[in-house]
Amino acid sequence: MDVLKKAENRLPETGTEGELSNEARDFHRAIEIFKEELDAIDWYDAQLGLCRDPRLQEILVHNQNEERKHAKMIFEWLEERDLAFSIELKKSVLSENAGEERGQAEQSIE
């Protein structure tokens, strides 16, 4: 099933047609797509654990990294549209230590 249709089907129930704004629908859609990207990353991780062919492993790692990039883009879009979320991220996840660890992880991916 198409990811956008899955996201649309998960929209909260509303009392009347069109009760949610387009912005709320888009935000929800982005959250659902973000979850799908995380599921894809997890799926590739499971496949990597099972795969024994080195060339196929390279392909799977490449594909998993692409899913990470997609997740990052959606995450950034969400952060741009939710100021409270962005502030909390900057206070906790993006602390100085987390930034150093993230930089090291990014280097190991490349």
- Cα torsion for 71, 72, 73, 74, to the nearest 10°? 50
Q: What rounded mean pLDDT belongs to the chain?
A: 82
Q: 102, 38, 29: which is closest to 68 by C-alpha?
A: 38
Angstrom distance (rounded) from CA 22 to CA 50: 42
Q: Which residues of the chain have pLDDT under 50?
A: 1
Burial 69-86 (b: 16+ CB within 10 A, else e): ebbeebbeebbeeeeeee
* Residue 77 DSSP SS3: helix
- pTM exceeds 0.75, yes or no: no
Residue 18 has which token pair? 């069109």
Give the model confidence (pLDDT) of 23-45 as tens digits: 999 999 999 999 999 999 999 99
